[in-house]
Chain A
Amino acid sequence: MDKVVLKLDDLEVMANKEDTILQAALDHGIYIPHLCYHPDLKPFGGCRLCVVEIEGRGLTISCKAPVEEGIAVRTEGPEIDKMRRVAAELLIVNHYSECLQCARNTDCKLQDIAAYIGIEEGRLQRLKRTARDLPLDDSNPFFIRDPNKCVLCGICVRTCEEINGVGAIDFAFRGLDTRISTLKDKPIVESRCESCGECVVRCPVGALVPQNMRKPEREVKSICPYCGTGCGIYLGIRGDKIVSARGDRDSVVNKGQLCVKGRFGYHFVNHPDRLTTPLIKRNGVFVEATWDEALDLVTAKFKEAQEKYGPEALAGLSSARVTNEENYLFQKLLRSLGTNSVDHCARL
């Protein structure tokens, strides 16, 4: 990849030729406030928080400005500060402000921005508009859309268009009434939305949050147990419960993306219907048994049948949902017992 050298404040940095100034800065650990930029998406240039100055040329939006050889960029300065302040205050006064009640508290881009720019409480009080009280859309069982927290960065709209190609949502209405909405402003569950949750993951604030969200205490890397795509996931664990799942951004298969099943379909693991003990059918009803009882019975019955009919009487169906190691052992066991009758439902 071609490289160029530019100056960011007083730092000389090397960047990829295709990068924008914002990307180059973030890559080098230099924070420039930004809200509508997302690394997975095409730049939008809506929030204007990422403004910087290229020496000799004036102010520019850094998420859209490509790096160039030899340019010197200032990320701070009185004029920049003023522009950012205006943009940020406008967002904040229109934003629902009970941060403690928000699922995204401490993990919110707007909080980052406010902290960076420094918002004066007094000034904010004067500016504060009566909070708009728009209805929540909780029609989707997996996530809530709260227009009162939306900052109109358009990340969800672009995600739905650029990541999964569904195009379920768009900007609607004008001016102060601008909102993200489905076609004809229907509840999201009645739109063409596929419930993939990709927009929820990318929303920089609390406008799109999972229903009943609980933060995991640790994460474990795994593979989605559903279709054959084999998306990489991280299971979020709390105690001995799976409380979340997210796509593995390093996976070449799914690059962090997931579908509705792979993101939200894990209740089966901790479900009360899970089998937790061996069962033996006695007089038509299942009764609980110990492992020894169950396995001894299986062994005895298999042996009995083999004596009566020969090894061919035994057959096994393995599973497209257990591991390779287990599939391998399954056929090894059956064949070791003298039968090649082992199959699975690949054909069904």
Chain B
Amino acid sequence: MTNPVSDVSGAGAILVTGSNPTENHPVIGYRIREAVRTGARLIVADPRRIPLVDVADVHLQFKPGTDIALFNGLAHVIIKEELEDKEYVENRTQGFKYLKQIVAKYTPEYVSAITGVPAKDIVTAARLFAQADSGAIVYCMGVTQHTCGTENVVALTNLSLLTGNLGKPHAGMNPLRGQNNVQGACDMGCLPNVFSGYQPVHSDRDTGTYWRRLTKERQLEQVGVGFIRPASPGETITSIEFNQPVPVDSVSDTIRAKFSRAWGVELSDVPGRTIAEMFHYFPHRRSRIMYIMGENPVLTSPQAELVREALEDMDFVVVQDIFLNETAQYADVVLPAASFAEKEGTFINTERRVQRIHRAIKPRGNSRPDWEILQELARRFGLNWNYSSPEDIWNEVRELTPHYFLGMTYERLEKEGGLQWPCPAIDHAGTPILHKGKFARGIGQFSTVEYRPQAADTSGGVTEEYPFILTTARKLYQYHTRTMTGKTDGLNYLLDEERMQINPRDVQALKLTPEDMVRVTSRRGSLETKIEITDCVPPGIVCMSFHFAEPRVNVITDPAVCNMSVASGVKVSAVRIEKI
């Protein structure tokens, strides 16, 4: 998030899209409802009628996969009615004229035809958002889990830039991170191409970054404005903003040398595999040995069958977890880890706040904190690791990632209730709002993206044979693959089975009764599920969660990846539904 959670209350307008905060980030949901009670205008752009729609001013119920058309349409109205923040656009951004050209054709009528949203609602929403004193955009996996996920974010960012909402209170671009330390996993460098603090491991060759995919002309255009020169060593290498140029080779060489020295090892500059590539469709392109710590890819990965098959085919699989989850069944060795309540350390929340956790009880049985296990292994490989506590490790992180964390000692984190990165010095107060006054790279870049109709299910789209769109979601009473929530009887009592959401009209057409089971078939596989009849989903669209092992929705979802961020497009799959 560019802005803190507390900032949501007090926003003039809030655009929530591809996110269902009241169920997935409930406390942020409270904040949004609170904001509405105190006068914020709320725009919900979502294919489903999520609970927040009850308190929204407008609901833009677009067809799944047409996000870009909708966002470009909103930009069109804002520009046409001259509602953009002219001063901001003039002083802090560039590329406005390209944006104007691109969105010219996205008239409300044109967009309405693509998205199914009434033209007048598009106009209303654009006005509400642009005319508010401050406009916050809140989004989540619903925007990013698409084959065009990265482009969706670009289109959304344009709206924020256009209305001058990046870099001020109660506004900004606010992705909600799904798991408590997803932010931390990224920030710590658990991504193939970056070390902690997004310091690049190698140049962008073959990593499929957006930069590489820009046309030559666009690349030149951006180099021309001096983007490539960092203001300070820290600043080139964040990936806070999309569309920054990937640093030139010498930058990554220097960084690699720095880590090599600090760690006392030679470091490779060969691009690593992403999760999808580890379980590649072609066996010869997969990894041979897997070390899986605290993950359950057998349930969470799109096209889960492939993951099972790949795991079975691997030479050796190590799973380190607190439970023997579905993935652990495929392991050769299972290492028992301590839970969050049994160790010290830090987490980073969705607003970039680093916060301390404390050991409340001792590890169960012979289980050990993950960091101790990792250190034990490292020593067996002859690495010279001597951490006596998580604080030791954290201090190394601070030292090697100064532009983000240098100022964050354990002592300060404790005393000040967490700090938001970047916090580059001991007397730095942390950064509640990013891009205040100035962007990390000096200027905000409008990037242009076009709506591509093939976005809905890459392997053929919605056809007579597969007439429904299946989308996925999460629910209030369960979490992820239930390894944790499934152990609380009360939560199981409140939600104990999967029911696919389906509109009453479709139920009628398919002649279903509430207790019927249906078979849902995509081009990749099929499953059987109970149904929940609800107008939360519009006709033609059905929705399932991935919480339950049976039916396992990711057996049938679309594994095609976003060609820029390599996120899977699980949000949209074409399916057929039959009564059984």
- B240 in the interface (beta carbon within 8 A): no
- B293 in the interface (beta carbon within 8 A): yes
CA distance A341 to B341 in the complex (A): 29
Contacts of B266 in A (CB 8 A): 338
Cβ of A272 to closest chain B Cβ, rounded Å: 9
Query: Once the chains bind, are A320 and B192 in contact (CB under 8 Å)?
Result: no
- A319 in the interface (beta carbon within 8 A): yes
Question: Chain B interface: which of A81-89, A148-156, A178-186, A247-255?
Answer: A247-255
- A105 in the interface (beta carbon within 8 A): no
Query: Once the chains bind, are B367 and A274 in contact (CB under 8 Å)?
Result: yes
Cβ of A107 to closest chain B Cβ, rounded Å: 22
Tell me the nearest residue of chain B to A189, going by C-beta: B494
Query: Once the chains bind, are B6 and A321 in contact (CB under 8 Å)?
Result: no
Q: How large is the interface on B (under 10, 10 to 19, 20 to 34, 35 or more residues)?
A: 35 or more
Q: A165-B37, A325-B345 are in contact. Are A341 and B287 (CB under 8 A)?
A: yes
- B568 in the interface (beta carbon within 8 A): yes
Q: A276-B366, A328-B397, A341-B278 are in contact. Are A269 and B341 (CB under 8 A)?
A: yes
Query: Once the chains bind, are B180 and A230 in contact (CB under 8 Å)?
Result: yes
Query: Once the chains bind, are B380 and A299 in contact (CB under 8 Å)?
Result: yes
Contact with B along A109-124 (1 / 0, CB 8 A): 0000000000000000
Query: Once the chains bind, are A316 and B177 in contact (CB under 8 Å)?
Result: no
Contact with B along A192-230 (1 / 0, CB 8 A): 001110000000000000010000000011111111111
CA distance A258 to B321 in the complex (A): 26
Query: Once the chains bind, are B275 and A328 in contact (CB under 8 Å)?
Result: no
Question: Chain A interface: which of B18-26, B91-99, B514-522, B537-545?
Answer: B18-26
CA distance A134 to B180 in the complex (A): 42
Most chain A CB neighbours (cut-off 10 Å) among B177, B265, B322: B322
Query: Once the chains bind, are B324 and A340 in contact (CB under 8 Å)?
Result: no
Query: Once the chains bind, are A336 and B265 in contact (CB under 8 Å)?
Result: yes
Query: Once the chains bind, are A196 and B26 in contact (CB under 8 Å)?
Result: yes
Contacts of A229 in B (CB 8 A): 5, 25-28, 176, 349-350
| CB contact between A253 and one of B287, B353, B354, B485 (< 8 Å): that residue | B353
Contacts of A194 in B (CB 8 A): 22, 26, 476
CA distance A308 to B288 in the complex (A): 10
CA distance A332 to B28 in the complex (A): 33
Q: A165-B37, A253-B353 are in contact. Are A274 and B287 (CB under 8 A)?
A: no
Contact with B along A310-333 (1 / 0, CB 8 A): 011111111111111111111111
Query: Once the chains bind, are A335 and B268 in contact (CB under 8 Å)?
Result: yes
Query: Once the chains bind, are B489 and A329 in contact (CB under 8 Å)?
Result: no
Most chain A CB neighbours (cut-off 10 Å) among B360, B381, B387: B360
Q: A223-B347, A318-B185, A323-B346 are in contact. Are A281 and B491 (CB under 8 A)?
A: no
Query: Once the chains bind, are B295 and A315 in contact (CB under 8 Å)?
Result: no
Query: Once the chains bind, are B358 and A325 in contact (CB under 8 Å)?
Result: no
- The number of chain A residues with a CB under 8 A from chain B is 111
Query: Once the chains bind, are B272 and A342 in contact (CB under 8 Å)?
Result: yes
Contacts of A262 in B (CB 8 A): 26-27
Question: Chain B interface: which of A17-25, A53-61, A90-98, A237-245?
Answer: A237-245
Query: Once the chains bind, are B491 and A257 in contact (CB under 8 Å)?
Result: no
Contacts of B359 in A (CB 8 A): 220
Query: Once the chains bind, are B381 and A337 in contact (CB under 8 Å)?
Result: yes
CA distance A1 to B293 in the complex (A): 50
Contacts of A321 in B (CB 8 A): 179-181, 294, 340
- B189 in the interface (beta carbon within 8 A): yes
Query: Once the chains bind, are A228 and B182 in contact (CB under 8 Å)?
Result: yes
Tell me the nearest residue of chain A to B22, going by C-beta: A194
| CB contact between A291 and one of B271, B366, B394 (< 8 Å): that residue | B366
B474-489 contacts to A (CB < 8 Å):
476-477, 479, 483-489
Tell me the nearest residue of chain B to A348, going by C-beta: B300
Contacts of B271 in A (CB 8 A): 340
Contacts of A346 in B (CB 8 A): 177, 182, 185-186, 191
Query: Once the chains bind, are B193 and A340 in contact (CB under 8 Å)?
Result: yes
Q: A323-B181, A323-B357, A347-B566 are in contact. Are A252 and B417 (CB under 8 A)?
A: yes
CA distance A302 to B295 in the complex (A): 20
CA distance A55 to B92 in the complex (A): 59
Q: A241-B361, A317-B291, A319-B185 are in contact. Are A260 and B347 (CB under 8 A)?
A: no
Cβ of A61 to closest chain B Cβ, rounded Å: 24
Query: Once the chains bind, are A326 and B487 in contact (CB under 8 Å)?
Result: no
- A106 in the interface (beta carbon within 8 A): no
Cβ of A343 to closest chain B Cβ, rounded Å: 4
CA distance A254 to B350 in the complex (A): 13
Contacts of B364 in A (CB 8 A): 270, 274-276
Query: Once the chains bind, are B180 and A320 in contact (CB under 8 Å)?
Result: yes
CA distance A98 to B190 in the complex (A): 57
Query: Once the chains bind, are B318 and A259 in contact (CB under 8 Å)?
Result: no
Query: Once the chains bind, are A323 and B184 in contact (CB under 8 Å)?
Result: yes
Query: Once the chains bind, are A265 and B182 in contact (CB under 8 Å)?
Result: no
16 more CB-based (< 8 A) A-B contacts, given A268-B483, A324-B345: A165-B30, A165-B55, A225-B180, A227-B179, A253-B353, A265-B484, A274-B365, A275-B364, A278-B334, A313-B288, A314-B291, A329-B374, A330-B293, A340-B272, A345-B179, A348-B297
List A residues at the B interface (Cβ < 8 Å): 140-142, 162-165, 189, 194-196, 211, 220-232, 235, 237, 240-242, 250-254, 257-262, 264-271, 273-281, 286, 289, 291, 294-299, 301-303, 305, 308-309, 311-348
Can you give 8 A-B contacts (C-beta < 8 A)? A235-B341, A268-B484, A274-B365, A278-B336, A314-B287, A323-B345, A344-B295, A346-B186
Report, nearest first, the 10 A-B pairs whose CB atoms are least far apart.
A276-B365, A230-B349, A319-B294, A165-B33, A340-B272, A323-B345, A228-B177, A259-B26, A141-B490, A315-B287
